[in-house]
Chains A and B, each alone.
Chain A
Amino acid sequence: MHPLTLTFLIFGIPALIGLTYVYVRGSSGLRSYTTTRILLTIPMILILATVVFFVMRILPGDPIDSTLGPKGTAEIKERFAEQHGLNDPILVQYGRFVGSVFTLDFGNSLIQSQRPIVDELGERLPATLEMIIPATILALGLGIYLGTQAGIKRKSAADYSSRIFSVMIYAMPIFWLGLLFQLIFGVWLGWTPIAGRIDPTIPLDRITNFLTIDAIITGNWVALRSVLAHLILPTLTLGLVLSGVFLRLTRINVIETNQEDYVAAARARGINQGTITRRYALQNALIPVVTLIGLQVAILVAGAVLTETVFAWPGMGRYLIQRILSRDFTAVQSVIVFFALFVAVISLVVDILYSLLDPRVRY
């Protein structure tokens, strides 16, 4: 099975279960809202794809110039353009592209390997997801935990430390933090590998291209150890940077919630602070955090571009940068469509979650 299909299945099945729940158990308002959101996703992606399509063609430079440099003679350029339909009227090219969006068959890359785009994405999308999923979990876990502690112990040393940490970490450029971690943990301490997804001397059958899953499926525990070790620094870098904003939002919401009457009433009833935090304050304080997850996904994707470059991580972000620089129109368009799809689906899921978490929300 193609790794891209597997990726869709891995993420598609839970999404499908969620949608089934919405349509079976959800309110009519939520059902119609969900339907509208799904339908709106189509024009949203089309508009984005259209903008990218035309911007790529308005930009000066072309794949041959970028690849061959001074050797890109007029004759070579002409042949190349002819072979790839770049001489066709722009609307004909656009029509072809829109057709490819609907069939998800983006054709072949224009430069370098000229491989099918779906094959290239099938290798890189799992790599990116394998990094950003644990990074998101880390960001949420750390941000919510430290934010809650800071909110509860307001104006304490822990509160001040957390606030300083959140500002510092959020303001820190990802590439710089990544290099710092590589230097400290990889070079000085020698605890972690600093680049790549797996020690290249360890053989591993790649089935899904999620190397953790592949290692588990094949029972290759040596490979699993290596994969997990290689995940540490990129995950830590991306996760820490993103945790700052979650920390601050959680903190302020916990403080606000703690000042609510129902929390005071709970305290008056003699309920201990742990229970109050868990069952009253945190549950309500986290609702805005869920919304933020949706917004942070786009930032996460942008962060992945830098993280992948620093850690030699062969994912979608690094691929996108390479292909923008070499003016590989088809590859750039395809990656943007996939990113847009990813962000749209996550936003939809977050909105649905929001409505489920907060019964006051009505669509």
Chain B
Amino acid sequence: MTKKILVLLFALALLAAACSDSADTTTTTAGETTTTAAGGTDETTTTAASTTTAAPAVACPSEEGGGTVVIGTTDAIASLDAADAYATRDWEILKNFNEPLLKWVPGSGEEIVPGLAASMPVPSDDGLTWTVTLREGLTYADGTPLTAEVAATQLTRLLTISETGPNQVGLTLGNPYVTSVEATDDLTLVFTLPAPIAFFPQLLASAAYIPPNPEIFPAEELNIFPEAPLTGTGPWIVTNIVPDESMTLEPNPNYYGDQPSLDQVIIRQFGDPQSMALAVQNGEIDIAWRILGSELATELGNVDGLNSVVVPAGPIRYLIINHVLEPTNDPNVRKAIASVIDRDELSDVIFGGAVDPLYSQVPPGFLGANEAFDSLYASPDLDEARAFLEASGYSEENKLVLPVWYPPEHYGATTADGVLLIVQQLEATGMIDVDVQAQEWGTYIGAVVGGEEYPVSVLGWFFDFPDPENYLQPFIENGGIGTMVTSKDGDITPGVNPELLSLLTASRSETDPAARAAILEQLQDVYADEVVTVPLWIEPEFIVYRDGICGDASLPNAESLNIGATMEFVYSVLGTDGS
């Protein structure tokens, strides 16, 4: 009899759970995959349509301080060597147990302050050298002194051995901008540049410009996945690493700055966002950070004791337009596509208005950012789109057949929804037949990067360093990453306006902000005219944390635990209310 009751109870429990209201739970599917966040650049997120709620931060930290905070993530660690690492999660860890020469004020996306440097760097008159003076008495957490000579040797790794690693960050953020790093005395570093660049301080604030501990990261070779303890110059020491499972950080007693108020931060890795959402609900983790979709984040925001907050930063989504393949090698076809995209409709229908439409590849808030696609195409404008198509011989009888590709699992469920709506918008001209195709990420990205298959495809992007350069240069200058605007030899694709390259070069070296903003605006106009890419929207990013966890109220964006526009999570600002 007991057995029967047990069986019955179990069956009832299953039925009850299956029938429960999904709004009260987190079993609702919000996306598929949370694979690699590539290179701090191509962003992987899971998203769904809805908004989230923000609760006020509680009064904390407690005066006693201390305690452990557990942070959940679905991002995997790919590399912990600053001369190789090139992913958002890797950079976050690196910047917590190390410090670059300059750093962003936590929560701020605008203010750079000296890190290991004693003051802001000084450029030479010709802009070809920058001098950095280090703070006095710096040591790594294990006591190894950090002199200018050590820093120069360790920073040179970015220029010399980065290419031996899998991520090769030096080829993107090192060699193109810096020729050499030398120490002229115990405290002075001199960077020599091949050409003046306006955004050198932003580069120095990136994780790539961390001088790692020579005892762990030798000058001659990379150490991509070193064993704990990992000692650096930052406020934390990585005391334990269990691959695929967890990482423990404890305060660095030798840190030159203020000590963290917490005793311990533990990072726990999850295989999928749903499990992470449940873990923050039942208190196994205190914070769920990257990568939750908006649907899960909204549901969690409705749970007592949880705070779900939109971080004031996020990756952008855009259409990659291949300038070499037919039919998108025709400027009229590209312009027709740009003319029909209705970003407001995309935001409203797919995201419930939760995302910001994007009218330039450079998002609002960056120097010189404008809305070139809006002013040039007044999109949506179907008549204009038809005119462009007619100019190339297309009509309602002779329709343009346009293949559009997307990765169904990589960016979450909303990508498919967004693409299908874009298909409707394109076909609303009556002159385009879209051949929409989905492809698994591993195959998809190879085809996009190779530039030999997909005329139109969808990608995401988040900056490596927060400057307009990093939103424009990769799409204009890097032949072979899909846009095919520039060939692998650096030549502009025939038929594409060469001003793209000259304006990019001019904006790079112009140090006067007003003059640079003017060049950047002009560059964005040409970019939009050539339809190098079609910017679509800015994706929201979420952080969910339990009551009793807090950021630093004296810094910007305390409600998002001081994660600001740079999307950097500085663990030393965290505190608890002692409960």
Residues of A at the B interface (CB closer than 8 Å) are 59-76, 79-80, 83, 110-115, 120, 123-124, 149, 157-158, 161-162, 164-165, 168, 179-180, 182-184, 186-187, 190, 193-197, 200-201, 203, 206, 308-314, 318-319, 322, 324-327
Residues of B at the A interface (CB closer than 8 Å) are 3-4, 7-8, 10-11, 13-14, 17-18, 25-27, 33, 35-36, 38-39, 41-42, 68, 70, 76-79, 86, 163-168, 171-172, 224-225, 240, 242-246, 248, 264, 266, 268-272, 274-276, 278-279, 281-282, 284, 440-449, 459, 461, 474, 478-482, 488
A–B complex contacts, Cβ < 8 Å, 27 sampled: A60-B443, A67-B38, A67-B166, A68-B42, A69-B38, A71-B39, A76-B168, A79-B168, A80-B166, A83-B164, A113-B78, A113-B224, A114-B224, A115-B224, A115-B243, A120-B243, A168-B14, A179-B27, A179-B278, A190-B282, A195-B278, A200-B70, A308-B271, A309-B271, A313-B271, A325-B35, A326-B36
| Chain B residues positioned under 8 Å from A74 (CB to CB) | 479-480, 488
Q: How far is the CB of A66 from chain B (nearest CB, A)?
A: 5
Q: Are A113 and B446 in contact (CB under 8 A)?
A: no
Q: Are A319 and B244 in contact (CB under 8 A)?
A: yes
- The 8 Å CB contact of B27, one of A83, A183, A201, is A183
Q: Are A61 and B266 in contact (CB under 8 A)?
A: no
Q: Tell me, in angstroms, the Cα distance from A124 to B266 when the chains sit together.
A: 20
| Chain B residues positioned under 8 Å from A71 (CB to CB) | 38-39, 41-42, 86, 172, 474, 481
Q: Are A69 and B459 in contact (CB under 8 A)?
A: yes
Q: Are A115 and B225 in contact (CB under 8 A)?
A: yes
| Chain A residues positioned under 8 Å from B7 (CB to CB) | 158, 161-162, 165
Given contacts A180-B14, A322-B76, A187 and B278 within 8 Å (CB-CB): yes
Q: Tell me, in angstroms, the Cα distance from A70 to B410 when the chains sit together.
A: 14
Q: Are B442 and A65 in contact (CB under 8 A)?
A: yes
Q: Are B35 and A326 in contact (CB under 8 A)?
A: yes
Q: Are A193 and B14 in contact (CB under 8 A)?
A: no
Q: How far is the CB of A313 from chain B (nearest CB, A)?
A: 8
- The 8 Å CB contact of B10, one of A165, A194, A313, is A165
Nearest-neighbor residue (CB-CB) of A326 within chain B? B36
| Chain B residues positioned under 8 Å from A200 (CB to CB) | 70, 242, 245-246, 248, 266, 268
Given contacts A68-B39, A326-B36, A111 and B78 within 8 Å (CB-CB): yes
| Chain B residues positioned under 8 Å from A79 (CB to CB) | 163, 168
| Chain B residues positioned under 8 Å from A61 (CB to CB) | 442-447
Nearest-neighbor residue (CB-CB) of B74 within chain A? A312
- The 8 Å CB contact of B449, one of A65, A83, A110, A184, is A65
- The 8 Å CB contact of B445, one of A65, A161, A162, is A65
Q: Are A70 and B36 in contact (CB under 8 A)?
A: no
- The 8 Å CB contact of B17, one of A73, A76, A180, is A180
Q: How far is the CB of B280 from chain A (nearest CB, A)?
A: 10
Closest 9 CB pairs of A and B: A69-B42, A113-B225, A69-B38, A314-B244, A61-B446, A61-B442, A309-B271, A65-B446, A60-B443
| Chain A residues positioned under 8 Å from B243 (CB to CB) | 113, 115, 120, 123, 314
- The 8 Å CB contact of B244, one of A65, A76, A318, is A318
Q: Are A66 and B282 in contact (CB under 8 A)?
A: no
Q: How far is the CB of B548 from chain A (nearest CB, A)?
A: 16
Known: A67-B38, A76-B171, A312-B279. 13 other contacts (CB 8 A): A112-B78, A115-B243, A161-B4, A161-B11, A186-B282, A195-B276, A200-B242, A200-B246, A200-B266, A312-B245, A314-B269, A326-B36, A326-B442
| Chain A residues positioned under 8 Å from B478 (CB to CB) | 73
Q: Are B171 and A312 in contact (CB under 8 A)?
A: no
Q: Tell me, in angstroms, the Cα distance from A186 to B279 when the chains sit together.
A: 8
Binding site secondary structure of chain B = mixed
| Chain B residues positioned under 8 Å from A326 (CB to CB) | 35-36, 442
Q: Are B14 and A322 in contact (CB under 8 A)?
A: no
Given contacts A113-B224, A164-B11, A158 and B36 within 8 Å (CB-CB): no
Q: Tell me, in angstroms, the Cα distance from A62 to B284 when the chains sit together.
A: 36
Nearest-neighbor residue (CB-CB) of A321 within chain B? B271
A-B CB contacts (within 8 Å), total count: 221
Nearest-neighbor residue (CB-CB) of B320 within chain A? A70
Nearest-neighbor residue (CB-CB) of B222 within chain A? A114
Given contacts A113-B79, A161-B8, A184-B17, A66 and B449 within 8 Å (CB-CB): no
Q: Are B3 and A149 in contact (CB under 8 A)?
A: yes
Q: Are A111 and B272 in contact (CB under 8 A)?
A: no
Nearest-neighbor residue (CB-CB) of B18 within chain A? A180
Q: Are B244 and A201 in contact (CB under 8 A)?
A: no
| Chain B residues positioned under 8 Å from A149 (CB to CB) | 3
- The 8 Å CB contact of B441, one of A66, A123, A310, A311, is A66
Q: Are B171 and A75 in contact (CB under 8 A)?
A: yes
Q: Tell me, in angstroms, the Cα distance from A120 to B244 when the chains sit together.
A: 10
- The 8 Å CB contact of B268, one of A186, A312, A324, A325, is A312
Q: Are A183 and B168 in contact (CB under 8 A)?
A: no
Q: Which of A66, A71, A112, A193 has the most CB of B within 10 A?
A: A71
Q: Are A312 and B271 in contact (CB under 8 A)?
A: yes
Q: Are A193 and B271 in contact (CB under 8 A)?
A: no
Q: Tell me, in angstroms, the Cα distance from A65 to B479 when the chains sit together.
A: 15
Q: How far is the CB of A251 from chain B (nearest CB, A)?
A: 14
Q: Are A194 and B474 in contact (CB under 8 A)?
A: no
| Chain A residues positioned under 8 Å from B41 (CB to CB) | 68-71
Given contacts A69-B39, A74-B480, A309 and B163 within 8 Å (CB-CB): no
Q: Tell me, in angstroms, the Cα distance from A72 to B41 when the chains sit together.
A: 11
Q: Tell me, in angstroms, the Cα distance from A337 to B315 when the chains sit together.
A: 39
| Chain A residues positioned under 8 Å from B171 (CB to CB) | 73, 75-76
Q: How far is the CB of B480 from chain A (nearest CB, A)?
A: 4
Given contacts A63-B166, A180-B14, A73 and B77 within 8 Å (CB-CB): no
Q: Tell me, in angstroms, the Cα distance from A69 to B480 when the chains sit together.
A: 12
Q: Are A195 and B275 in contact (CB under 8 A)?
A: yes
| Chain A residues positioned under 8 Å from B35 (CB to CB) | 322, 325-326
Q: Tell me, in angstroms, the Cα distance from A71 to B43 when the chains sit together.
A: 12
Q: Are A158 and B278 in contact (CB under 8 A)?
A: no
Q: How far is the CB of A170 from chain B (nearest CB, A)?
A: 13
| Chain A residues positioned under 8 Å from B284 (CB to CB) | 186, 193-196
Nearest-neighbor residue (CB-CB) of A182 within chain B? B278
